[in-house]
Structure 1
Amino acid sequence: MNQFVDITNRRVLYRMLLMLDPLAQPLWGKMKPQQMIEHLIDQVQYTNGTKIPSWDGPHENTEGRKQRGIYTDSEIPHNIVLEQLPDALTYPDLETAINQLMKELDAFDRYFTTNDVKVIHGGFGPLNYYEWIIWHGKHFTHHLKQFGVVM
Protein backbone atom coordinates (compact mmCIF):
# COMPACT_ATOMS: atom_id res chain seq x y z
CA MET A 1 0.00 0.00 0.00
CA ASN A 2 2.95 2.33 -0.46
CA GLN A 3 1.38 4.12 -3.44
CA PHE A 4 -0.67 6.18 -0.98
CA VAL A 5 0.36 9.39 0.75
CA ASP A 6 1.96 8.78 4.14
CA ILE A 7 0.11 11.18 6.43
CA THR A 8 2.62 10.46 9.21
CA ASN A 9 5.42 12.10 7.19
CA ARG A 10 4.18 15.62 7.85
CA ARG A 11 7.09 17.45 6.24
CA VAL A 12 6.53 15.73 2.90
CA LEU A 13 2.75 16.03 3.23
CA TYR A 14 3.00 19.75 3.99
CA ARG A 15 5.23 20.32 0.95
CA MET A 16 2.74 18.42 -1.23
CA LEU A 17 -0.16 20.49 0.06
CA LEU A 18 1.72 23.72 -0.58
CA MET A 19 2.07 22.64 -4.23
CA LEU A 20 -1.66 23.25 -4.66
CA ASP A 21 -2.48 26.26 -6.80
CA PRO A 22 -5.51 28.07 -5.31
CA LEU A 23 -6.86 28.57 -8.85
CA ALA A 24 -6.27 25.01 -10.07
CA GLN A 25 -9.13 23.21 -11.75
CA PRO A 26 -9.76 19.63 -10.63
CA LEU A 27 -9.10 16.77 -13.03
CA TRP A 28 -12.52 15.47 -11.91
CA GLY A 29 -15.21 16.61 -9.54
CA LYS A 30 -16.36 20.10 -8.60
CA MET A 31 -14.18 21.03 -5.63
CA LYS A 32 -11.76 23.89 -5.73
CA PRO A 33 -8.42 23.38 -3.92
CA GLN A 34 -9.46 25.20 -0.76
CA GLN A 35 -12.79 23.35 -0.64
CA MET A 36 -10.85 20.09 -0.85
CA ILE A 37 -8.54 21.07 2.01
CA GLU A 38 -11.51 22.18 4.12
CA HIS A 39 -13.19 18.85 3.35
CA LEU A 40 -10.08 17.03 4.61
CA ILE A 41 -10.09 19.21 7.75
CA ASP A 42 -13.70 18.23 8.38
CA GLN A 43 -12.96 14.54 7.92
CA VAL A 44 -9.87 14.58 10.15
CA GLN A 45 -11.86 16.38 12.86
CA TYR A 46 -14.06 13.29 13.08
CA THR A 47 -10.94 11.32 14.00
CA ASN A 48 -9.30 13.70 16.46
CA GLY A 49 -12.10 14.21 18.97
CA THR A 50 -13.26 17.57 17.62
CA LYS A 51 -16.38 16.12 16.01
CA ILE A 52 -18.14 12.97 17.13
CA PRO A 53 -19.13 10.55 14.35
CA SER A 54 -22.33 8.60 14.57
CA TRP A 55 -22.99 5.08 13.37
CA ASP A 56 -25.97 2.82 13.82
CA GLY A 57 -24.05 -0.33 12.86
CA PRO A 58 -22.96 -2.96 12.64
CA HIS A 59 -24.35 -3.30 9.16
CA GLU A 60 -24.36 -6.15 6.72
CA ASN A 61 -21.00 -6.38 4.94
CA THR A 62 -19.29 -3.78 7.18
CA GLU A 63 -16.32 -6.05 7.80
CA GLY A 64 -16.01 -6.85 4.09
CA ARG A 65 -16.10 -3.15 3.17
CA LYS A 66 -13.47 -2.48 5.82
CA GLN A 67 -11.22 -5.25 4.53
CA ARG A 68 -11.51 -3.98 0.94
CA GLY A 69 -11.24 -0.30 1.88
CA ILE A 70 -8.40 -0.52 4.35
CA TYR A 71 -6.42 -3.68 3.65
CA THR A 72 -6.15 -3.60 -0.14
CA ASP A 73 -4.51 -1.28 -2.64
CA SER A 74 -7.92 -0.22 -3.94
CA GLU A 75 -8.32 3.50 -4.55
CA ILE A 76 -11.32 5.68 -3.87
CA PRO A 77 -13.29 5.98 -7.12
CA HIS A 78 -13.35 9.29 -8.99
CA ASN A 79 -16.53 11.39 -8.80
CA ILE A 80 -17.89 9.70 -5.69
CA VAL A 81 -20.14 12.20 -3.90
CA LEU A 82 -21.04 11.46 -0.29
CA GLU A 83 -21.89 14.97 0.88
CA GLN A 84 -22.79 18.39 -0.47
CA LEU A 85 -20.13 21.08 -0.69
CA PRO A 86 -20.65 23.89 1.83
CA ASP A 87 -21.85 27.21 0.47
CA ALA A 88 -19.01 29.21 2.03
CA LEU A 89 -15.36 28.66 2.86
CA THR A 90 -14.33 28.63 6.51
CA TYR A 91 -10.76 29.90 6.16
CA PRO A 92 -9.60 33.14 4.49
CA ASP A 93 -7.21 31.44 2.06
CA LEU A 94 -5.71 28.13 0.99
CA GLU A 95 -2.50 28.50 3.01
CA THR A 96 -4.43 29.14 6.23
CA ALA A 97 -6.60 26.09 5.52
CA ILE A 98 -3.51 23.93 4.88
CA ASN A 99 -1.98 25.07 8.16
CA GLN A 100 -5.22 24.21 9.96
CA LEU A 101 -5.24 20.77 8.36
CA MET A 102 -1.74 20.16 9.71
CA LYS A 103 -2.91 21.19 13.20
CA GLU A 104 -5.87 18.82 12.93
CA LEU A 105 -3.53 15.98 11.99
CA ASP A 106 -1.37 16.73 15.04
CA ALA A 107 -4.55 16.62 17.16
CA PHE A 108 -5.38 13.27 15.51
CA ASP A 109 -2.07 11.84 16.71
CA ARG A 110 -2.54 13.22 20.23
CA TYR A 111 -6.13 11.96 20.42
CA PHE A 112 -5.14 8.37 19.79
CA THR A 113 -2.01 8.64 21.96
CA THR A 114 -3.96 9.84 24.99
CA ASN A 115 -7.13 7.81 24.47
CA ASP A 116 -7.54 4.06 24.11
CA VAL A 117 -10.20 4.37 21.43
CA LYS A 118 -11.46 3.29 18.08
CA VAL A 119 -13.22 5.92 16.01
CA ILE A 120 -16.21 5.23 13.80
CA HIS A 121 -15.97 5.33 10.01
CA GLY A 122 -19.40 5.53 8.41
CA GLY A 123 -18.81 2.64 6.03
CA PHE A 124 -16.23 0.54 7.88
CA GLY A 125 -17.30 0.83 11.52
CA PRO A 126 -14.79 1.32 14.35
CA LEU A 127 -11.18 1.84 13.22
CA ASN A 128 -8.00 2.02 15.27
CA TYR A 129 -5.24 4.59 14.81
CA TYR A 130 -3.31 2.54 12.25
CA GLU A 131 -6.42 1.82 10.20
CA TRP A 132 -7.20 5.54 10.19
CA ILE A 133 -3.66 6.31 9.02
CA ILE A 134 -4.25 3.99 6.07
CA TRP A 135 -7.69 5.42 5.30
CA HIS A 136 -6.62 9.06 5.63
CA GLY A 137 -3.65 8.25 3.38
CA LYS A 138 -5.99 6.86 0.74
CA HIS A 139 -8.35 9.81 1.12
CA PHE A 140 -5.57 12.41 0.90
CA THR A 141 -4.11 10.59 -2.13
CA HIS A 142 -7.51 10.61 -3.84
CA HIS A 143 -7.81 14.37 -3.50
CA LEU A 144 -4.17 15.16 -4.27
CA LYS A 145 -4.59 13.15 -7.48
CA GLN A 146 -7.74 15.16 -8.17
CA PHE A 147 -5.49 18.23 -8.45
CA GLY A 148 -2.50 16.55 -10.07
CA VAL A 149 -0.22 16.93 -7.04
CA VAL A 150 0.40 13.17 -7.06
CA MET A 151 -0.08 10.81 -9.96
Structure 2
Amino acid sequence: MNNIKLNFLLEEFPSLLQNLPANAKGEWGSMNGQQMVEHFIDAILLAAGKIPAPLLTPAESLPKMRDFLFSDAPFQENIKNPLVSETPPATRLPDMNTAVSELQRALNTFTEVFKEDPSKEIINPFFGPLDYTGQVQLLHKHAIHHLKQFRLSKKSA
Protein backbone atom coordinates (compact mmCIF):
# COMPACT_ATOMS: atom_id res chain seq x y z
CA MET A 1 0.00 0.00 0.00
CA ASN A 2 1.31 3.42 -0.93
CA ASN A 3 0.65 5.50 2.19
CA ILE A 4 1.79 8.68 0.40
CA LYS A 5 -1.10 8.32 -2.07
CA LEU A 6 -3.58 7.47 0.68
CA ASN A 7 -2.48 10.43 2.81
CA PHE A 8 -2.69 12.68 -0.22
CA LEU A 9 -6.30 11.58 -0.83
CA LEU A 10 -7.32 11.93 2.81
CA GLU A 11 -5.61 15.23 3.60
CA GLU A 12 -4.13 17.23 0.76
CA PHE A 13 -6.72 16.62 -1.95
CA PRO A 14 -9.70 17.92 0.08
CA SER A 15 -7.62 20.91 1.17
CA LEU A 16 -6.80 21.81 -2.45
CA LEU A 17 -10.48 21.54 -3.37
CA GLN A 18 -11.40 24.09 -0.66
CA ASN A 19 -9.76 26.74 -2.87
CA LEU A 20 -11.72 25.80 -6.00
CA PRO A 21 -14.68 28.06 -6.81
CA ALA A 22 -17.92 26.13 -7.32
CA ASN A 23 -18.37 27.64 -10.77
CA ALA A 24 -14.72 27.21 -11.90
CA LYS A 25 -14.27 25.98 -15.45
CA GLY A 26 -11.71 23.30 -16.18
CA GLU A 27 -9.13 23.17 -18.93
CA TRP A 28 -11.31 20.49 -20.57
CA GLY A 29 -14.70 18.89 -20.05
CA SER A 30 -18.00 20.46 -19.16
CA MET A 31 -18.13 20.05 -15.37
CA ASN A 32 -17.67 23.06 -13.15
CA GLY A 33 -15.74 22.83 -9.88
CA GLN A 34 -18.60 21.67 -7.70
CA GLN A 35 -19.87 19.19 -10.29
CA MET A 36 -16.37 17.67 -10.39
CA VAL A 37 -16.26 17.35 -6.60
CA GLU A 38 -19.68 15.69 -6.59
CA HIS A 39 -18.53 13.39 -9.42
CA PHE A 40 -15.50 12.47 -7.33
CA ILE A 41 -17.71 11.71 -4.32
CA ASP A 42 -19.49 9.16 -6.52
CA ALA A 43 -16.13 7.69 -7.59
CA ILE A 44 -15.16 7.24 -3.92
CA LEU A 45 -18.49 5.62 -3.07
CA LEU A 46 -18.11 3.31 -6.08
CA ALA A 47 -14.63 2.36 -4.77
CA ALA A 48 -16.20 1.65 -1.38
CA GLY A 49 -18.87 -0.60 -2.91
CA LYS A 50 -21.67 1.81 -1.96
CA ILE A 51 -22.58 2.44 -5.62
CA PRO A 52 -22.45 -0.87 -7.43
CA ALA A 53 -21.61 -0.83 -11.13
CA PRO A 54 -21.33 -3.63 -13.66
CA LEU A 55 -18.01 -4.63 -15.19
CA LEU A 56 -17.86 -3.01 -18.65
CA THR A 57 -14.36 -4.08 -19.73
CA PRO A 58 -14.14 -7.47 -21.46
CA ALA A 59 -12.17 -10.01 -19.42
CA GLU A 60 -9.46 -10.29 -22.08
CA SER A 61 -8.81 -6.52 -21.82
CA LEU A 62 -8.50 -6.38 -18.01
CA PRO A 63 -4.74 -7.14 -17.85
CA LYS A 64 -3.99 -4.19 -20.15
CA MET A 65 -6.32 -1.93 -18.15
CA ARG A 66 -4.70 -2.97 -14.87
CA ASP A 67 -1.23 -2.39 -16.33
CA PHE A 68 -2.32 1.17 -17.12
CA LEU A 69 -3.87 1.62 -13.68
CA PHE A 70 -0.66 0.68 -11.88
CA SER A 71 1.56 2.70 -14.21
CA ASP A 72 2.58 6.33 -13.88
CA ALA A 73 0.68 7.16 -17.08
CA PRO A 74 -2.04 9.76 -16.47
CA PHE A 75 -5.64 9.61 -17.63
CA GLN A 76 -5.97 11.41 -20.95
CA GLU A 77 -7.44 14.90 -20.88
CA ASN A 78 -11.13 14.91 -21.77
CA ILE A 79 -11.33 11.11 -21.52
CA LYS A 80 -14.91 9.91 -21.97
CA ASN A 81 -16.52 7.86 -19.22
CA PRO A 82 -19.56 5.95 -20.52
CA LEU A 83 -21.10 6.09 -17.04
CA VAL A 84 -21.08 9.90 -17.06
CA SER A 85 -23.39 11.94 -19.28
CA GLU A 86 -21.92 14.44 -21.74
CA THR A 87 -24.00 17.06 -19.94
CA PRO A 88 -23.11 17.10 -16.25
CA PRO A 89 -25.99 16.77 -13.82
CA ALA A 90 -27.03 19.78 -11.78
CA THR A 91 -25.27 20.02 -8.44
CA ARG A 92 -27.09 18.19 -5.68
CA LEU A 93 -25.37 19.84 -2.72
CA PRO A 94 -26.01 23.44 -1.63
CA ASP A 95 -22.43 24.76 -1.98
CA MET A 96 -18.78 23.88 -2.44
CA ASN A 97 -18.01 23.71 1.30
CA THR A 98 -20.74 21.11 1.74
CA ALA A 99 -19.44 19.21 -1.30
CA VAL A 100 -15.88 19.08 0.07
CA SER A 101 -17.23 18.00 3.48
CA GLU A 102 -19.20 15.22 1.78
CA LEU A 103 -16.06 14.21 -0.12
CA GLN A 104 -14.20 13.90 3.19
CA ARG A 105 -17.08 11.87 4.62
CA ALA A 106 -16.99 9.58 1.55
CA LEU A 107 -13.23 9.08 1.99
CA ASN A 108 -13.82 8.12 5.63
CA THR A 109 -16.50 5.63 4.52
CA PHE A 110 -14.07 4.21 1.98
CA THR A 111 -11.35 3.60 4.56
CA GLU A 112 -13.86 2.11 7.03
CA VAL A 113 -15.15 -0.38 4.45
CA PHE A 114 -11.66 -1.78 3.99
CA LYS A 115 -10.82 -1.64 7.73
CA GLU A 116 -13.79 -3.94 8.31
CA ASP A 117 -12.63 -6.34 5.57
CA PRO A 118 -9.01 -5.75 4.46
CA SER A 119 -9.19 -8.53 1.85
CA LYS A 120 -12.33 -7.15 0.23
CA GLU A 121 -12.36 -6.66 -3.54
CA ILE A 122 -14.86 -4.33 -5.18
CA ILE A 123 -15.68 -4.34 -8.87
CA ASN A 124 -14.67 -1.28 -10.81
CA PRO A 125 -16.49 -1.07 -14.15
CA PHE A 126 -13.26 -0.45 -16.09
CA PHE A 127 -10.52 -2.19 -14.08
CA GLY A 128 -12.38 -5.18 -12.63
CA PRO A 129 -12.07 -6.37 -9.04
CA LEU A 130 -9.76 -4.12 -7.02
CA ASP A 131 -8.53 -4.52 -3.48
CA TYR A 132 -7.78 -1.58 -1.19
CA THR A 133 -4.39 -0.93 -2.81
CA GLY A 134 -5.94 -0.93 -6.28
CA GLN A 135 -8.78 1.35 -5.23
CA VAL A 136 -6.35 3.83 -3.63
CA GLN A 137 -4.23 3.76 -6.81
CA LEU A 138 -7.29 4.47 -8.95
CA LEU A 139 -8.63 7.25 -6.73
CA HIS A 140 -5.19 8.89 -6.61
CA LYS A 141 -4.79 8.75 -10.41
CA HIS A 142 -8.34 10.11 -10.78
CA ALA A 143 -7.66 12.93 -8.28
CA ILE A 144 -4.49 13.98 -10.13
CA HIS A 145 -6.48 14.04 -13.37
CA HIS A 146 -9.03 16.47 -11.92
CA LEU A 147 -6.41 18.62 -10.19
CA LYS A 148 -4.77 19.12 -13.60
CA GLN A 149 -8.17 19.80 -15.16
CA PHE A 150 -8.80 22.66 -12.73
CA ARG A 151 -5.19 23.92 -12.56
CA LEU A 152 -4.76 23.09 -8.89
CA SER A 153 -1.25 22.27 -7.77
CA LYS A 154 -0.37 18.86 -6.44
CA LYS A 155 2.37 19.20 -3.85
CA SER A 156 3.08 15.51 -3.38
CA ALA A 157 2.51 12.24 -5.15
What TM-score range do you get, normalising by the shorter chain?
0.7 to 0.9
Question: How many aligned residue pairs are there?
Answer: 147
Aligned residue for 1:67, secondary structure, equals: helix
Structure 2: unaligned runs, 5 residues or longer: none
C-alpha separation in 2, matches of 1:51 and 1:98: 19
Point out the structure with the larger helix share.
Answer: 2
- Normalised TM-score (structure 2): 0.85
TM-score between the two structures when normalised by the length of structure 1: 0.88
The CA distance in 2 between the partners of 1:149 and 1:30, in whole Å, is 17
- Cα deviation, 1:55-90, whole Å, max 9, x if unaligned, reads 266621211211122x21000000112120443211
How far the C-alpha of 1:124 sits from its partner, in A, is 1.3
Q: Give 5+ residue unaligned stretches, structure 1.
A: none
Cα separation, 1, equivalents of 2:43 and 2:11: 20
Is residue 2:125 matched to residue 1:122? yes
Give identity over the alignment, percent. Answer: 30
Cα distance in 2, alignment partners of residues 35 and 7 from structure 1: 23
Distance 2:94 2:108 in 1: 21
Give, in whole Å, the separation in 1 of the partners of 2:107 and 2:129.
19
- Corresponding residue of 1:112: 114
**1:1-151 mapped onto 2 (5 Å cutoff):** 6-9=5-8, 10-55=10-55, 59-69=59-69, 71-82=70-81, 83-84=84-85, 85-115=87-117, 116-150=119-153
Superimposed CA distance per residue, residues 27-69 of structure 1 (whole angstroms, 9 cap, x where no aligned partner): 1111100000010011111122321222266621211211122
